[in-house]
């Protein structure tokens, strides 16, 4: 059973389109995250949700909007895609990290290419 799963794995789309990436975890974790990995492989946090509530929102264009329908799901919607949005997006989950440090697990990533 996959612990953290993302769909799709690959996404190729034209500039200006709107797209969504879905993420689900079956670990019973309270906290979910979205990370972006750029072309130099640097990983940076975008958003963090704890029990469906947004707790971290780094400096990300407001074209990016996370949505958490329940604590097992955290989807990422991107409006008006730009070339610079091309990257690999990772979803992750952990037990409540605010409770003193807990192990995070990552999905397999979604490679987004904007043409």
Binding site for other proteins (CB under 8 A): 31, 33, 35, 40-45, 48, 50, 55-56, 88, 90, 92, 96-98, 100-106, 108-109, 111
Task: Report in angstroms the alpha-carbon separations of 115 from 21, 45, 78.
Answer: 17, 24, 15
Q: 24 near 73, Cβ under 8 Å?
A: yes
Q: Least distance to other proteins from the beta carbon of 41, Å?
A: 6
We find the least distance from the C-beta atom of residue 58 to other proteins, in angstroms, to be 8
Q: Which is nearer to other proteins, 82 or 96 (CB)?
A: 96
Is the sign of the CA dihedral 28, 98, 108, 74 positive or negative? positive
The nearest distance, CB 93 to other proteins, in angstroms, is 12
Nearest residue (CB) to other proteins, 72 versus 104: 104
Q: Are 96 and 50 in contact (CB under 8 A)?
A: yes
> What is the nearest approach in angstroms of other proteins to the Cβ of residue 16?
26
Nearer to other proteins, 75 or 93 (CB): 93
Helices (H), the chain: none
Of 19 and 111, CB closest to other proteins: 111
- Within 8 A by CB and 6+ apart from 85, the residues are 78, 112, 114
């Amino acid at each position: 059973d996959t612990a953290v799963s993302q769909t799709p794995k690959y996404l190729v789309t034209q500039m200006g389109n709107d797209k969504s990436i879905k993420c689900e975890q079956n670990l019973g974790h309270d906290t979910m995250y979205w990370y972006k990995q750029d072309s130099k492989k640097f990983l940076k946090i975008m958003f963090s949700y704890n029990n469906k509530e947004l707790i971290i929102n780094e400096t990300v264009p407001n074209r990016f909007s996370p949505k958490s329908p329940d604590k097992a799901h955290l989807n990422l919607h991107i409006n008006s895609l730009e070339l610079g949005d091309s990257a690999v997006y990772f979803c992750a989950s952990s037990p409540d990290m605010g409770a003193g440090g807990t192990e995070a697990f990552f999905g397999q990533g979604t490679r987004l290419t904007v043409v």
